[in-house]
Amino acid sequence: MTRTAFFISDGTGITAESLGRSLLAQFESVEIRMLTKPYIDSVDKAEGLVEVINATAVRDGAQPIIIDTIVDADVRSVISQATGFKVDIFSTFLEPLEKELATRSTYSVGSTHSIGRDDAYMNRIDSVHFALDNDDGARTHQYDKADIILVGVSRCGKTPTSLYLALQFGIRAANYPLTDDDLDEDGSLKLPPALAPFRHKLFGLTIDARRLAAIRSERRPNSRYCSMDQCMQEVQQAEGLFRQMHVPFIDTTRFSIEEISTRMIAETGLSRRFSPR
């Protein structure tokens, strides 16, 4: 049986979806169809959504799961009438917190994901721009301003990790690709001159050669670039360089970008400029 889960919010829906997905991920044996419904910020919209939820219950033969972060009392009242198993995140957690803190919550719509403090928001934007400007070794003269420099072979996950660090934590991350141009006379990789002064900022990414070959095949099929021999050689050389230069590194093969980033922060002690959104 397929169950349907609705993540409902009168704001962006990011909080409801993030928590909802985290909770439902614990039930691997159940097939769950997940639907996010943001900006349900009026009684009319809520009534329309209740009709959809009730129709879904009839279609599925089981009540949908409703996870919401609705702030407006009138809208919450309408949603509460839907046929579904309800997880009201705000009432579940805010009411006990109000008692503990001896004060009422402001119940502000969208306060988690709004611009909020301008300095934090601008720091986030600046960090994203920095990651884009310093992607793939395009520029190296700004490395003195980088919080961290990701190093690894092409297509091992440097760019998405750099952007995630910037967007979620305000960390200024540059990244540099290791290529054949960085080979020494004996065929082993050497630390590129652009990176040498910033060795203390380096963090390596590696990946299983078979996975790397599959990723590269999508970009340049039937090329030397995606061949198994080439991928194995590059990965071995990169890992050898990391060990020789005492550069910490992580295997990205089985980790998500979120896991790679948080493990990196934990290992390096990098300071987050703000909490994740």
145 is in an annotated binding site: no
Determine whether the annotation assigns residue 15 to a binding site: no
Residue 158 counted as an annotated binding residue: yes
155 is in an annotated binding site: yes
For 46-80, b where at least 16 C-beta lie within 10 A, e where not — what string?
Answer: beebbeebbebbeeeebbbbbbbbbbbeebbebbe
Sign for the CA dihedral angle at 175, 273, 119, 276 comes to positive
DSSP β-ladder status, 65-68 and 2-8: parallel
156 labeled part of a ligand binding site = yes
Distances (CA, A) of 81 to 78, 86, 101, 238, 270: 6, 10, 31, 58, 47
d(CA 133, CA 144): 14
Query: Which residues are part of a known binding site for ADP?
Result: 152-159
Query: Which residues are part of a known binding site?
Result: 152-159
